[in-house]
Amino acid sequence: MAAHTSTVRGDHPGMAEMRPPLDTVLVLVSPENIAFEYRLAGPALRSLAFLIDLMLLVAVAGTALLLFSVTGTALMGFYLAGLFFLWWGGTAAFEVLGNGQTPGKRAVGIRVVSHDGLSINVSQSILRNLIRAIDAAPPFLPGVVSMVLTTRMQRLGDLAAGTIVVVDRRVTASGPPRAASAPNLAAELIPAGFTPPSRLLEALADYVGRRRDLGPARRQEIAGLAASRLVAAWGTSASRDDDALLCAVYDRTTLERNR
């Protein structure tokens, strides 16, 4: 991954975007000045997820048709209505309730998020799924063409709803990594009694969980955005290790909350 990044203004107020050149990694900077890295999901993964969802839909529709056929045609109207909802509303319901994931997306490890990296909302999910019929229209498959031509690999539904599809990276770490033998000296810079707001703590938790996937240079580059803002607010000298400072803030806060 390239170490150099360029910063431009994002579509969302207070958000900035950094994108390494010739890379599928998208870096979004939150209003708290914490950077989050997402790897964009390409057409292959997204098509596989769609096929899995489609096969599940066919299986459910086929089973329901078998059951309704036993009762005759009296309830066939309910079957058709249910099939209509599953096709147009089922995916949207899964995305909203499943944090941007349908069964197919969960199986291949991708999810839908808003263009600013936050969770997708109901209106976004409904809009992007309504336009799915246009995206999948043969023979040109406009959605696939759009993914190839746009920098964020967005199909038409994503462009309209302001969403992106990213590779899901689950955070398994319960806390920040600790040095094997030496204490975290950056903790001395944290003022006594400092308690980060909840949104900043959530951002720190996300960073700490993802940092193990980053190289040392990338850690310092991303952590420096938040660390510079913190030391400026504290009125202290700059940290020599910005990554260690963020870990120290998160570590101290979580330890105090668990006492």
Q: How many CA atoms lie within 13 A of 141 on its CB side?
A: 7
| pLDDT above 60: residue 1 | no
Q: How many CB atoms lie within 10 A of CB 91?
A: 24
Predicted local confidence at residue 183, as pLDDT: 59
Question: In the chain, where are the structural domains located?
Answer: 43-167, 185-257
Q: Is the pLDDT of residue 11 over 90?
A: no
SS3 249: helix
- Judge whether 169 and 210 are in contact, CB under 8 Å: yes
C-alpha closest to that of 44 among 103, 108, 94: 108
Q: How confident is the model at residue 160, as a pLDDT?
A: 95
Tell me the whole-structure pTM to 2 decimals.
0.58
Average pLDDT, the chain: 78
The pLDDT tens digits for 36-71 are 678 899 899 999 999 999 999 999 888 888 877 776
